[in-house]
Amino acid sequence: MNRRLTALAGLALGIAALTAAAGFSAPDSPTLPGAAVAHDDAALYKSLVEKAGPSIVTLKMVLKFQGMGDEGRDHEVSGLMIDPKGLILISNVMIGGSARGMTITPSDVKVLFANEDESSEGLKARMVVRDSELDLAWFQIDDEKAKDRTFAAVDLSPSASGALGDRLYTVQRMDKFFDRTTYVSEGAVGGTTAKPRKLLIPSGFQVEPGGAVFGADGKVVGVGAIILPNEDDMDMGSPGQMYSRTGPLILPASEVRSATERAKEMAAKGEGDKPANP
């Protein structure tokens, strides 16, 4: 493996580690005019935790690097259940998807749920499609033990929120050291981008890659995504430096839903090894 490929692979996993570290503390919520009058925070927080908490799962896997034989690296990432039949959405970057010029393949995937401890064997799953452009990857639970089981899932029907200044909320799960406690972070739409596509810029809180972002109506506004340019599109610095300035942005729910439909169609055709870009 040459130095450039090693650096790119390290960037992908380094971003995963940097983002995971951010989950150790929830940033302070911004003070917005009329917040106390607009809604009951306690009731909304409770509703979001009850709705979204059970849909957050943990995927344990082994990442295998092209050209390194059967050796792999143990890896763990949070996922979002988006279909009661066991379809899980995660950030592609969080499984090494940004390492251009190298193939990093997840294997031996096991899914653990909120009420399961570390001794649980979990449920077997497999990656069906990944989309490097949108920073999305889909995994399907594929285990005989779950053949007739339905799962708590988040509905990707988009919220009406998403305009500048709208309040936003995320439901995240902390590290196993903190017993994977579920918590809510709160912020606002600080801005929007038009290029390379429409993205919402979070203000006042950290968005988790692959995690759902909700509006005050409890519906999904979008999903956290790490959108990085290629070398030709870099104005200055490196993708890692750009990420340190922007962090994950928010891919609108309508685009996530459309991409998921394409992913399902591709999986049905046996094209899961191809990107799900239109």
Pair 175, 249 in one domain: yes
Domain count, the chain: 2
In a domain, 173, yes or no: yes
Is 124 a residue whose pLDDT tops 90?
A: yes
We report the CATH number of the domain holding residue 73 as 2.40.10.10
Is 195 a residue whose pLDDT tops 90?
A: no
Predicted confidence (pLDDT) per residue in 44-80, tens digit? 999 999 989 999 999 999 998 876 666 788 999 999 9
Predicted confidence (pLDDT) per residue in 177-194, tens digit? 888 789 999 999 999 999
In a domain, 146, yes or no: yes
Mean pLDDT over the full length of the chain:
79
- Asked which of 88, 118, 153 is the last residue of a domain, the reply is 153
Determine contact, residues 155/220, Cβ cutoff 8 Å. Answer: yes
Contacts of 237 (CB under 8 A, 6+ apart): none
In a domain, 16, yes or no: no
In a domain, 4, yes or no: no
Is 199 a residue whose pLDDT tops 90?
A: yes
Pair 159, 248 in one domain: yes
Pair 149, 111 in one domain: yes
Is 266 a residue whose pLDDT tops 90?
A: no
Contacts of 38 (CB under 8 A, 6+ apart): 167, 216
Pair 100, 180 in one domain: no
Is 39 a residue whose pLDDT tops 80?
A: no
- CA–CA distance, 140 with 108 (Å, rounded to integer): 13
- Burial string for 96-119 (b: 16+ CB within 10 Å, else e) reads bbbbbebebbbeebbbbbeeeeee
Handedness of CA 129, 134, 136, 138 (dihedral sign): negative
pTM of the entire predicted model? 0.79
Bridge partners (DSSP) listed for residue 126:
140
Pair 39, 84 in one domain: no
Is 101 a residue whose pLDDT tops 60?
A: yes
Where in the sequence is the domain holding 133, given as residue range(s)? Answer: 55-153
Pair 166, 36 in one domain: yes
In a domain, 207, yes or no: yes
Identify the band that residue 24 occupies on the pLDDT scale cut at 50, 70 and 90. Answer: very low
Pair 48, 186 in one domain: yes
Is 270 a residue whose pLDDT tops 50?
A: yes
Q: If you write DSSP's letter for every residue of 136-151 in order, what string do you get? A: EEEEEE--GGGTT---
Predicted confidence (pLDDT) per residue in 126-177, tens digit? 999 999 889 999 999 999 999 889 999 999 987 888 899 999 999 998 887 8
